Structure 1
Amino acid sequence: MELLSSRVIIRPRDPDRSLAFYRDALGLAVYREFPGGTVFFLGQGLLELSGRGDGAPSQDLALWLQVRDLTGVLAELRDRGVPVLREPRREPWGLDEAWISDPDGLRLVLVEVPEGHPLRTDLRAGHHPG
């Protein structure tokens, strides 16, 4: 199977409320709009809000969103009225993570990759940082 593109699709219980959350509170840039839906840029992926759901999202599902400055992002989100479910902390795997949720309760994990973490390692041959 050859994949050319991908996106996460969310069926919100209240489409207008979720649209306002992702567009206005989170400030995600719009990739495309169509009758009954909006697709947002989500880093290297896409997030589509379309249709209408009738159930709560599974607590087994979360969106992992990497940011450059976790403290700054949380301050912005608080200013926009977004509650923080869990304050930032360094996880055993070395990433700094905080949690928020969308209006339907879908958990969004905001992640900052700290200096020196293997995800920041440049694997190109012969490259030595600074």
Structure 2
Amino acid sequence: MDILSSRVILRPSDLRQSQAFYRDVLGLAISREFGDPNAPGLVFFLGNGLLEVSGHRENDGSPGQLELWVQVRDVESEHQRLAKGGVTILREPRTEPWGLIEMWIEDPDGVRIVLVEVPADHPIRRDQRGLD
């Protein structure tokens, strides 16, 4: 697998509280904001990696849900290769409303891994500085 980048994804029970913790208490700088303007996902710089705090999970007292976000060159070829290898495919590749092509797999302990392909025309690939 040719990994281009990765991030850890946290699905908190209280999105705003968790984002405030990482932003205001820990002082992590924001790399990217996306999604619903009323409840945006935030991606924070985390040393040599990234931490995304987005979405929501039920507050059942268990720790936050951990996921891995892994950017690859070609999601469809990874889908074929991993399916042949017996990897649990939770969701086949599809283009998300935000323009990324994603598929979900599961590690042996049930940790979800999101494999992501960024299309050539996606805004993540363009320098947004100076654009209004």
If you compute each CA radius of gyration, which structure gives the higher value, 1 or 2?
A: 1
Q: Which has the higher strand share?
A: 2
TM-score, with normalisation over the residues of structure 1?
0.48
Could you state the TM-score of these two structures normalised by the residue count of structure 2? 0.48
